[in-house]
Every structure is written in C-alpha cells, then in structure tokens.
Structure 1
C-alpha cells in the first residue's frame, strides 16, 4: 500500500476502535496488533493533521465515541509495549514509538476538541443568561412605564374630578337662592352622575393601559366575582332613580301649588 492508502486504512482503523460495540480483548488483541504492524510497515508515519478530521467525524456520529477510542488505543499501546518486552509477535521498538505518537496525537486532539466544546458551551450559557437578563430588564422597564402612566392617570383623575366638582359646586352655591330645592337637587344629582362616570372612564383607561381588569367594588361583588361594570351600572341606575323621584316630587309640588292658587282665586 502507498502512503495515502495507509493513511486511509489508519483512519478506518480508528473509526472502528471508536465504535460503541468495539472492545479490545485478549481474543482479538492479536488481530489488532497485526493490523497496526501492516499499516506502519515500510517506515510509514501517520499525519498529525489527519487526526483532527477523524476525531471530528467521531464526535459528530452518535454510533461513535471519543472515550471509547481513547480506551481502546490505550489498551493497544500498553499491550504492544508488553508484547515487546515479552518478545511476542515480532513487535519492534519502532512500532511502539509510532503507536505512542498515535496515542498521544489522538488524546491531544480529543482534549482540544473537548476544550473547544466546553468554551462554546460556556459562551452559550452566558449568552442565554444575558438574554434572560435583558428580557427581564425590558419587562421591568415596560412595567415601570405602565406604573408611571397609572400614577399620572390617577393624579389626573383626582385633579379633574376635584376641579370639576369645585367649579360646579361654586356655581350651585352662588345660585342656591335663585332656584327651588327640586331644581337644585336635580342639578346636583346630574353633576354627581357626570363626575362619577367621568372618573370611571379615566380609571377604565388606566386599567386597559396596564392590561388589568378593574377590581370589584364591594364584598358582595367580590364573592360573586361580578365585573366592575355591573356596580357602575347599579350606581348610575340609583342616581337616575333619584332624579326621577326628584322630578316626581317637583311635579307634585307644582300640582299642589297650582291647585292651591286656583282654590284661593290667585
């Protein structure tokens, strides 16, 4: 065989030793040593550059294992040295030296590839951790923005409600002596309904910005898990009912006043 064929035969030999079902034992030890003698005959020297391709191929194949290759190569090397010392199988010192270099080169490439994979795994773990931290910071920043909007919204709601209430209250108090109690009550209820719904609209907007539903307003609605809208509708219905009652009382007062004027001749 020429050098190229021997290099190819050595690579196939290493791939065979890396198989999961390959075990170097006393039964097949002689066959493996004779194969190495044939490969390294005629002063053949393996190429160190060819080891990287073989180890990479072994690492990418699920049926092959680098640790298996290391163990089998070590057994072969130790057996060749023992055979040399015992004078068996015509094992020479030259074969021991070449197998020692093969054993050293294989271990060196396996260590280098394993170290490279370890570094890559560390970098991947760091990148994943950094990505998780960036995601967490982004979520915190988004939540902080929502909190700021919520605080500003609540403050705006309070200011608007307070200012509107003060304006309407001042207007009512300034003209309290110019209207009847029924008209004054009607306007007060109407203003209360307007301010109440305005405040609820602002709070509903804040809740939508935060993507959270409004909390229930009472213990009863909390136990029954009723939505906030039913409570708001109930309060509006109550205020509307009060307005109807006020109109009814005003109509009754107007009817009595008209009947009294007719009876007295005014």
Structure 2
C-alpha cells in the first residue's frame, strides 16, 4: 500500500505531465498580443470566437481525463509552488520568445479546458472537481501574470541600463571634450605667457637700442667740430641705419606674434625664400636701406676724392713754402753785404 506522501508525489508528477501536455497543444486562433492584466477576459474572448469546435477537442478530452485522475476521488490539493516551478521552467523560452508564446498557449488551453468542462453535462454536478480545476486555472493565470510582471521589470531595467550606458558614453565624450578644451586652454595660456615675455623683452630691446643710439648720436654731435664733415655724415648714416633696422625688425616680430603670421607661415615651405625675398625687396625698410647706402657710398667717394686733392694741395703748399725759405736763406747774405756797402 502506497503512503500518502508517495501518492502526493505521484499526483504532482501527473499534474506536471498535464501541464506539459497542454503546453504542447497548438491552437491556430490563439491571439499573440502581449499578455494583459485582463488575461482571463481576453482568453474567454478568444474562446467565444470559436463557432466551430476546436481542432484539438480530442486532446482537450485527453487532458480532462488526466485532470480526473488527479482530482476525482482523491483528496489531492495541488501546491502553488508546483505550478510556479513549472511556469518558471519555461522562463528561458520566454526570454528568447519576445511574444511569450508558450505562456499564451498554456493560459489559452487551461481556459479552454475549463470552459469545456463547464459546458459538458456530465460535469454538471461535479462542483468539487470543477472548483479544483478552476483553482488550478486561477493559479496558472496568476503565475503567468507574475512572470509577465517580472519580464516587464527586467525589460524596463534593461532599457534603463541601456539608457544609462548611453548617457554614460555621452558623459565620457563630453568629459573627454572638456579635458581637451582645458588642455587646449592651458596650452594657449602658456603660449600667451611666452608671447607676453617675448613682447616685453622686445620692447626692452627697443628702448635699449633707442637710448643707445641717442646716446651715441649725442656723443658724435658734441664732437662735431673735431671731425670732418665726411666722417660725421658716415657715422650719422650708420647710426640711422642701425637704429631704423633694429626698430623695424623688432616691431615686425611683435606684429607677427600678435597676428599669428609666423604660425601661418610655418605651413608654407615651398616658396618661402621667394616670398621672403619679394616681401623684403618691396618693403619700405629695403628702400630706406638703399637710400642710406647711396648716401654712404656718395660720401665715401667724395671723401676719397676731396681728401686726395686736399693732400695734394697741402704737399704742393709745403714745397712752395720750403722753396721760399731756401731762397730767403740764399739771398740773406747778399742783402747783408749790400747793407754794409751802403
């Protein structure tokens, strides 16, 4: 004689077989819309649309027979955990099947089976059996809805996780862009400091050059009476040439730093010599240098020419003076003798 526990386990096994059998009953007219909270109402609507007997009536009768073996003439009460265990066992199938078709099939078939039992006259007085089947149906639908909520929560969590990942990636991109901007700003600040130091150094050199040239010019002008006009002109031209060129190139360097001309010119390396030569030849400083150079050359030629003539004149004058002295020395005794004779 079997113990109550062994009978209970056997009936649990039969219930599991029953659930497996109804999960394999395919009904063509099952609606595969997402499972809603009004699951029972939707399933009844699907069943009421059948004007003809279902194609699986024989399978339903077989499933009803299995329910009779489980519930009729026994004190068996199915455990909610048994149904939960079976429904959860189809969880993996539902993950890969976004329509959750297996849950639709189970819910539809148990609803159809209960409707078949409720319509048949042989079960008219089997209230206890129908109540147990109804309770089974209710537990199955309840567990399906619970699984549906779990899936919805998982899908919502996954969607939020994907959205969070997307926002995180956007934040990373923005952070990288901000870091690049900060690094760029730091480099610009360092370059600005270098440019400021360079500009201050250039202006110091300008002031120094101007003061040095002015001091030298003052010294030259103070001794203007002690030197020739040619040397004075040459020295003044050299001073003007030096000061003007120094100031021009220092100011040009400041202008290039301010307008970034030097950075732009770094990218042009093909005809850099020709461009530089053309710019220099067409510049005002070049014309000024040519003008001063002409003055220097003219002054030098004049100095050579007039100094040579002056030296010749001086040498001739010295010869004349020496000849006059010799004549004077030669005639002086005669003059003395003449004076004595008189």
* Structure 2 length-normalised TM: 0.47
Contact map agreement 2:202 2:254 (CA 8 A) in 1? yes
Deviations 1:55-88 (A, max 9, x none): 4xx5xxxxxxxxx815868866875686477448
| Residue 110 of structure 1: aligned partner | 155
Deviations 1:195-235 (A, max 9, x none): 4345545766x479997337xxxxxxxxxxx9676434544
1:212 to 263, 281, 287: 263
1:245 to 264, 285, 294: 294
1-structure distance, mates of 2:251, 2:90: 79
Measured at CA, do residues 152 and 81 of structure 1 come closer, stay the same or move farther in structure 2, by a change above 3 Å? farther
2-structure distance, mates of 1:230, 1:48: 87
* Structure number with larger C-alpha Rg: 2
CA RMSD of superposed structures (Å): 4.8
Count of paired positions: 216
Deviations 1:144-203 (A, max 9, x none): 222222222222211211111211221122112244223321332134224434554576
- 2:238 matches 1:186: yes
1-structure distance, mates of 2:55, 2:156: 29
User: After the TM superposition, which residues 253-264 of structure 1 pair with which residues of structure 2 at under 5 Å, given as runs?
Assistant: 253-254=302-303, 255-259=305-309, 262=312
Contact map agreement 1:189 1:243 (CA 8 A) in 2? yes
2-structure distance, mates of 1:192, 1:69: 86
Unaligned 5+ runs, structure 1:
14-22, 59-67, 215-225
Measured at CA, do residues 130 and 253 of structure 1 come closer, stay the same or move farther in structure 2, by a change above 3 Å? same
1:145 to 182, 190, 207: 190
1-structure distance, mates of 2:93, 2:262: 56
| Residue 129 of structure 1: aligned partner | 174
Contact map agreement 1:77 1:100 (CA 8 A) in 2? no
Compare 42-51 and 155-164 and name the one that shifted more: 42-51
2-structure distance, mates of 1:187, 1:95: 109
SS of 1:180 mapped into structure 2: helix
Unaligned 5+ runs, structure 2:
1-12, 24-30, 34-45, 47-53, 64-77, 118-132, 266-273, 318-342
Measured at CA, do residues 187 and 52 of structure 1 come closer, stay the same or move farther in structure 2, by a change above 3 Å? farther
Contact map agreement 2:217 2:236 (CA 8 A) in 1? yes
Contact map agreement 2:94 2:102 (CA 8 A) in 1? no
**CA deviation after TM superposition for structure 1 residue 47, in Å:** 7.5
Contact map agreement 1:24 1:75 (CA 8 A) in 2? yes
**CA deviation after TM superposition for structure 1 residue 52, in Å:** 8.1
Compare 228-237 and 125-134 and name the one that shifted more: 228-237
**CA deviation after TM superposition for structure 1 residue 46, in Å:** 4.5
Compare 152-161 and 228-237 and name the one that shifted more: 228-237
User: After the TM superposition, which residues 1-266 of structure 1 pair with which residues of structure 2 at under 5 Å, given as runs?
Assistant: 24=32, 43=82, 45-46=85-86, 51=91, 55=95, 69=98, 79=108, 83=112, 86-87=115-116, 93=137, 94-176=139-221, 177=224, 178=227, 179-200=231-252, 206=257, 212-213=263-264, 230-235=278-283, 236-254=285-303, 255-259=305-309, 262=312, 265=316
Structure 1 segments of 4+ aligned residues over 6 angstroms from their partners = 207-211
